[in-house]
Amino acid sequence: MTDQRATARTILITGCSSGIGKYCALALRDRRWRVFATARREEDVRHLQDDGLEALRLDVTEPDSIRIAVAEVLTRTQGRLDALFNNAGYGQPGALEDLPSEALRAQLETNVVGTHAVTRAVLPTMRSQGHGRIVVHSSVLGFITLPYRGAYNASKFALEGMADTLRQELLDSGIEVSLIQTGPVRSRFRENAEAMFHRWIDVDASPHRQTYRAVERRLAGAGDTPLTLGPEAVLAKLVHAIEARSPKARYHVTLPSHLFKALKRMLPTRALDRILLGATASERRP
């Protein structure tokens, strides 16, 4: 009997310990993709394996980890990889004037440099086979900004520019590059951001300390806004990006992503600033 894995389409996904990455890995497996789900911690890798996934350790900030994981994937697939979903990342909250350089460097190292490193690792295979799909998980904050999210804004703006450049450079290679620009989606993003906030921000020493009380309440809150969608909304765009004959360059997820893209096209910068600051007014009130 032919091993179905030998003929299945293959995808490598980073950042699968929970949330969107894990959901998409399980759902794509059910769509008969051969999924290689990766996570930084060995404990999370074991949990993914318990869920029936082919799981590997991959930390996007460790070059050796990337090299070993990609080599193992290609060994198991006889040198084939059809798609990559660059999903790993986190958000570093805090006013830019309060962020030490180490915090900004860590944010960019994971979200930007890590995405670049994993993409470079798979491109030779995709080039040699003459096809591939690279999907980059961006954000509504890749094209508009909000206060107290400067490090994350910077990382997602950089991802947008990197993905656009890569798409141009890979023209006629058979490799397609897509961005998924998400707004609020249920995941562990807020919990992870809260941990990074307390790691790097000295609230009591900051001129923003009154505002930070509201930031802390938001990060600690468990409730979703009415505009929050589940991870299945991201999955729908990911499926189109990796399965459609002509994938889009950009996919918007949630109403805020669609809305702010339209407002950015229509409004002067200062007018858009007023709207964005109004949307976060509660974070600036004592």
For residues 37 and 55, the answer to whether their CB atoms sit within 8 Å is yes
Q: List the domain range (segments joined by +) for residue 37.
A: 4-187+226-280
CATH of the domain at 171: 3.40.50.720
Instruction: Establish if 232 belongs to a structural domain.
Output: yes
Instruction: Establish if 245 belongs to a structural domain.
Output: yes
Write out the DSSP string of 102-118.
HHHHHHHIIIIIHHHHH
Could you tell me which of 183, 258, 185 has the C-alpha nearest to residue 224? 185
Q: Tell me how many domains the chain contains.
A: 1
Is the pLDDT confidence value at 284 over 80?
no
Instruction: Establish if 242 belongs to a structural domain.
Output: yes
- 152 catalytic? Reply is yes
Instruction: Establish if 192 belongs to a structural domain.
Output: no
Instruction: Establish if 200 belongs to a structural domain.
Output: no
Q: Which residues lie across from 229 on neighbouring strands?
A: 185
Predicted confidence band of residue 282 (pLDDT cuts 50, 70, 90): low
2-50 pLDDT tens trace:
466 767 999 999 999 999 999 999 999 999 999 999 999 999 999 999 9
Instruction: Establish if 217 belongs to a structural domain.
Output: no
Instruction: Establish if 234 belongs to a structural domain.
Output: yes
Q: Is 76 helix (H, G, I), strand (E, B) or coil?
A: helix
Instruction: Establish if 213 belongs to a structural domain.
Output: no
Q: Which of 23, 90, 152, 212 is catalytic?
A: 152
Burial class (CB in 10 A: 0-12, 13-18, 19+), 150: buried
